[in-house]
């Protein structure tokens, strides 16, 4: 299953309500993209007590991960792995 499908499956389990998944190193926020049956996401890296740094954001579109201009996201292997690991929780 690709990352886009995993994101869609996770938001459906929460009845399309915004949700967040956290580990010691990352926080992944999921939300519905208004007017579409797609998932928006933001991945943060934790860098301190209450400090987070943006890693990436985007949304699903027809089974792909895209950015704000609907261009395919070229996520690194590490970023993809972080998202998939969080979704597996």
User: Encoding tokens for residue 85?
Assistant: 């690991």
For residues 4-12, average pLDDT: 94
Mean pLDDT taken over the chain: 93
Mean per-residue pLDDT, 64-71: 90
User: What pLDDT digit, counting tens, does each position of 12-22 carry?
Assistant: 999 999 999 99
What are the boundaries of each domain within the chain? 3-87
44 pLDDT exceeds 90?
A: yes
């Amino acid at each position: 299953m690709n990352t886009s499908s995993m994101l869609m499956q996770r938001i459906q389990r929460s009845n399309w309500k915004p949700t967040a998944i956290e580990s010691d190193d990352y926080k992944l926020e999921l939300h519905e993209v208004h007017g579409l049956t797609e998932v928006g996401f933001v991945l943060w890296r934790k860098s301190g007590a209450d400090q987070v740094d943006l890693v990436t954001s985007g949304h699903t579109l027809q089974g792909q991960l895209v950015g704000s201009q609907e261009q395919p996201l070229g996520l690194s292997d590490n970023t993809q792995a972080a998202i998939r690991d969080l979704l597996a929780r």
